[in-house]
Structure 1
Amino acid sequence: MKRIGIISDTHGYLDTIDLALDATMDQDIDMWLHAGDYGDDARYMQTRTDVPVYAVRGNNDRVQPLEPKEQLIPLEDTYIYMTHGHEVSYDKRIQELVHIGNAMGARLIVCGHSHIHKEKLLGDTLFVNPGSIALPRDGSGGTFAIVTYANGIFNVDVKPKKEII
């Protein structure tokens, strides 16, 4: 089983990264994904964990060095497609990103940008937006996500910040 931590839109609030890392310290996370806004936060995250941290550039990332706009990350027998999501139409974001990711062989599609957590299973493809643990826009108080992948099946657990404080 693989366990993937997903965080986005931390916007310089490094204490929220510390909260997520501390809350998952005993969960054997295999990798962390940072879906943009801010790349510096993802680099900070890498200094706090021994597992790989993959990041993409968000619409507020302007400090050099810049992360790539998108990433295709190997995961056992499939791939993870990650982008911030700001360059795709809001109304069709899920469908468009799933289409792009599926065309590359990905079955886990990750984006951020909206600061609103969302997960949707489309066939055997899982779309995840972890929301924002720092600046939520969904009344949640802040969220991040843990996705597990075992025997070809994805499961997602959205973690509310208020439960880990």
Structure 2
Amino acid sequence: MKNIQINHAQKGFTLIELMIVVAIIGILAAVAIPQYQDYTARTQVSRVVGEVNALKSNAESIFNNGGTVATADNLGVNPRQINIGWTGSNLTDPGYGVNGLQIDRGDQADMAWSVQLGQDASSAVRGVTITVSRSLAGAYSCSMTGGDPTAGWKDSYAPASCEHS
């Protein structure tokens, strides 16, 4: 009689192989998720800083044409008081100022405007106030206040062009 060997080929994965793959995926997720959340928060702050900085050209145009920037208190009072052109953002708190923008001293060339992060912004950056200020000489500066470290705020979220205090 002939000896017949039966070849048993492995089909599928063993339990240990599957457990190793699951462990590797878990380790990768533990590193990637916090990094993604940091990236999202930093991007949201940069976006809003860009949106409020874009109002500089509107303010300069108003001043160069002899007008003043209208605040919530004086909007429509004088024809020389012109709306700065803020349309809002889904990352800012709409209850802060008018449509999310608060303008201080808009009737003077040394003025400031600010927004507060809220609404659709990451919980790590909610409550941060971004302020753009203009001096009488026409120099602009950007500053940020707030940011709760217990909610996840990190100073690295602030762009280099806008200092956080």
Task: Give yes or no for TM over 0.5.
Answer: no
Looking at secondary structure, tell me which structure has more helix per residue: 2
Normalised by the length of structure 1, the TM-score is 0.28
Higher strand share: 1
The structure that has the greater radius of gyration is 2
